[in-house]
Structure 1
Amino acid sequence: MRTTLKLTQIIDDWIAETDILPATKADYRRKINLWFRWLSSVGVDPRHAERRNIVEYKRHLQTEGRSVLTVCSYVTVVKLFYRYCSCQRYCENIGTGIRSSVKHREYYKAALSRSEASALMDSIDTSTTIGRRDKLIVALMLINGLRACEVERINISDFDMLKGRMVLHIQRKGKVDKRSTIALPELIGGLFEDYIGDRDFEMDDPLIISHAHGGGGGRRLSKITISAIVKQRLRDIGIDRPDITAHSLRHTCGSLMVESGVDVETIKDILGHTDTQTTRIYVEMAQQRRLLENSPSNIIAGLISKKPKKKKGR
């Protein structure tokens, strides 16, 4: 580094100048600090890192078994940091030309089948407050395609009535306000009323909270905890695969809408995508499912394997 500033000061300045949400800033800070800790652990002076060190770091993350998306996010943050440092003339941009990850066309999380989605909903016992909460979480993600971070941000007051039907105001991923409004089916309206029915609450209270005994009750659950709850509910019905996570519920919603004939533009609006290119992932997922379940190759195999009929003798 061609500066006398401490690394902590450089990081602070970089974070301050980056136009991103507070939660993303915290994530950037965590990931860049992990990079510097790794450098120290392998005996490299953090102020004099080289391009080859980023390549080694990427390989280290891959050998740890991190997912493609995780490796991509960690390396991208490092590259962004050195691009900033280069603009400030603190050092060369040692991240130039380094690919964040190997790009795959496949979407990284699979969707549930219709029967699996139905089994998940049916498996949750709603005789307890926690059960009612968890079923509402699953329904919001599976039926309305919400992300875990969007469920986390919901307050009780975000449920509203519009022209005689229940709607929900959502703060979408990457947004700072709740401009997105979605219609809710009666099923979710009923789950919402059942869940808050036995709670003492103010309208501005968070919707999804902890119900732990002996302290901690009433605390808004984080997206990480919400995802862990969904993952455990999936394990409870025998689904425990790395490609099936809480985010798979959103993919299930999207792919089932495609299979049901909903047009791409409508799905885009429901899921809060900025363009249809992202939404078309679900078209590909639905097509792949159709090919697996009703492969045309089975028809060809049947035609080829049929024995020709013998001609009757004269």
Structure 2
Amino acid sequence: MNSFEITELIEHKNAAPSNNQTAVTITNDLSKYLQDFLSEQDIKENSKGTYKRALTQFFSFMPNSFEQLTSNDILTYKRHLESLELAAYTITAYLVVVRRFFAWTEAKKIYPNIAKTIKGMRRPKEFRKDPLTMEQTREVISGIDLNTLQGKRDFAIINLLVRTGLRTIEIQRANIEDINQTGGVAKLHIQGKGRDTKDDYVILTHASLKPILSYLKCRGETKDTDPLFTSLSDRNNGGRMTTRSLSRIAKGVMIEAGIDSKRLTAHSLRHTAITTALRAGASLQEVKAMARHADMNTTLIYSHNIDRETNAPEHKIDAYMEKYAI
């Protein structure tokens, strides 16, 4: 898990753990250790802020002073995180920061690494969000009003998500100039998760590109350096949209289509694109490249889920039992 993923998980609006214990005052020594630790981490500034908040939260939870902590205290903290019913990824993110801190204290001969035996949570076999069915996808897309600038924008965004598997952060970072055409193939160059530059891309088919061009034409005069999609709110009109706004748009059009579930969010549209690609016959390697998965095992989860649903033995049990009128 890289620093960006840790930041993304811990910054999630429901991720911050809380407890009813009296917070322990952070000592000056610990504050110095934190400052020294953070200064030596090769991570971005926003990630350093996230690390600091995570560690401050950890030590505030601890009933003992810094010099009295043991591995059992960290296990207690892990159980506390589990009791809050946080996602496995989120709990692991908190524990990764704690482990890195104590690895650093041991290397500096400040304090033993009492966290090295503490494991993260097991990777879930399934995703926490579901893809849309093709019927649901059609209902969502067809329900958007294309007669307004907002409708054209929202349609272009949702359509792009379900046809390319982009993440909301990748759409949020995109500029108009990131669309180009080489060899007759249109591409959208993107700055992916954990990346510092726009060194990857997705293919824009005619069905993906046409709504974007229609939206841009309706938007009026623009510069190449302008955001690809802009806000229409009073506070940020014409400015770059936030990932939260993009998520709200996705959830809003689903609810408008009568589809409302906690397991269906903006990230479901990425799942929908990846699942659709596999069902349409794309190879695992092709889908891995499109989704920009660092690990093939992530792509395999989609494949296994499809296979489990398509070849479910439960259906075979029913068919067999019907022969005996059961």
Corresponding residue to 2:137 among 117, 121, 145: 117
* Unmatched runs of 5 consecutive residues or more in structure 1: 307-314
Could you say which residue in structure 1 is the equivalent of 2:51? 28
State the Cα distance separating 1:169 from its structure 2 match. Answer: 0.7
User: Is the 2:54–2:97 contact (alpha carbons within 8 Å) kept by the matching residues of 1?
Assistant: yes
Corresponding residue to 2:106 among 86, 90, 115: 86
- Partner Cα separation in structure 1 for residue 221 and residue 32 of structure 2: 45
- Partner Cα separation in structure 2 for residue 209 and residue 49 of structure 1: 49
- Partner Cα separation in structure 1 for residue 149 and residue 53 of structure 2: 35
State the Cα distance separating 1:8 from its structure 2 match. Answer: 3.7
Cα 1:294–1:115, aligned 2, differ >3 Å: closer, same or farther?
farther
Could you say which residue in structure 2 is the equivalent of 1:180? 200
Could you say which residue in structure 1 is the equivalent of 2:79? 59
User: Is the 1:255–1:285 contact (alpha carbons within 8 Å) kept by the matching residues of 2?
Assistant: no
- Partner Cα separation in structure 2 for residue 139 and residue 209 of structure 1: 16
Could you say which residue in structure 1 is the equivalent of 2:216? 196
- Partner Cα separation in structure 2 for residue 239 and residue 293 of structure 1: 29
User: Is the 2:89–2:123 contact (alpha carbons within 8 Å) kept by the matching residues of 1?
Assistant: no
Question: Equivalent pairs: percent with the same residue?
Answer: 27
| Structure 1 residues 114-263: aligned runs within 5 Å | 114-197=134-217, 198-213=219-234, 215-263=235-283
Cα 1:269–1:10, aligned 2, differ >3 Å: closer, same or farther?
same
User: Is the 1:15–1:25 contact (alpha carbons within 8 Å) kept by the matching residues of 2?
Assistant: yes
State the Cα distance separating 1:292 from its structure 2 match. Answer: 5.5
Give the partner amino acid of 1:208. Answer: F
User: Is the 1:142–1:253 contact (alpha carbons within 8 Å) kept by the matching residues of 2?
Assistant: yes
* Unmatched runs of 5 consecutive residues or more in structure 2: 1-26
State the Cα distance separating 1:82 from its structure 2 match. Answer: 1.8
| Structure 1 residues 31-50: aligned runs within 5 Å | 31-39=54-62, 43-45=63-65, 48-50=68-70
User: Is the 1:21–1:174 contact (alpha carbons within 8 Å) kept by the matching residues of 2?
Assistant: no
Flag the structure with larger Rg: 1
- Partner Cα separation in structure 1 for residue 117 and residue 261 of structure 2: 34
Q: Secondary structure at the residue paired with 1:182? A: strand
User: Is the 1:7–1:47 contact (alpha carbons within 8 Å) kept by the matching residues of 2?
Assistant: no
Cα 1:8–1:196, aligned 2, differ >3 Å: closer, same or farther?
farther
Could you say which residue in structure 1 is the equivalent of 2:293? 273
State the Cα distance separating 1:269 from its structure 2 match. Answer: 1.1
Corresponding residue to 1:17 among 40, 43, 46: 40
Higher mean alpha-carbon deviation, 47-56 vs 192-201, is at 47-56
User: Is the 2:125–2:301 contact (alpha carbons within 8 Å) kept by the matching residues of 1?
Assistant: no
Higher mean alpha-carbon deviation, 241-250 vs 266-275, is at 241-250
Q: Secondary structure at the residue paired with 1:296? A: helix
State the Cα distance separating 1:237 from its structure 2 match. Answer: 2.9
Moved >6 Å (runs of 4+): none
State the Cα distance separating 1:245 from its structure 2 match. Answer: 2.5
Q: Secondary structure at the residue paired with 1:295? A: helix
State the Cα distance separating 1:155 from its structure 2 match. Answer: 1.0
Cα 1:305–1:119, aligned 2, differ >3 Å: closer, same or farther?
same
Higher mean alpha-carbon deviation, 66-75 vs 6-15, is at 6-15
Higher mean alpha-carbon deviation, 279-288 vs 199-208, is at 199-208
Cα 1:259–1:296, aligned 2, differ >3 Å: closer, same or farther?
farther
State the Cα distance separating 1:295 from its structure 2 match. Answer: 2.8
- Partner Cα separation in structure 2 for residue 211 and residue 148 of structure 1: 17
Deviations 1:267-314 (A, max 9, x none): 1111112342221111112112324599333332333339xxxxxxxx
- Partner Cα separation in structure 2 for residue 56 and residue 205 of structure 1: 49
Cα 1:301–1:241, aligned 2, differ >3 Å: closer, same or farther?
same
The CA RMSD measured in Å over matched residues stands at: 2.7
Higher mean alpha-carbon deviation, 161-170 vs 144-153, is at 161-170
Cα 1:188–1:299, aligned 2, differ >3 Å: closer, same or farther?
same
TM-score using structure 1 length:
0.84
Could you say which residue in structure 2 is the equivalent of 1:301? 321
- Partner Cα separation in structure 2 for residue 253 and residue 157 of structure 1: 24
State the Cα distance separating 1:145 from its structure 2 match. Answer: 0.5
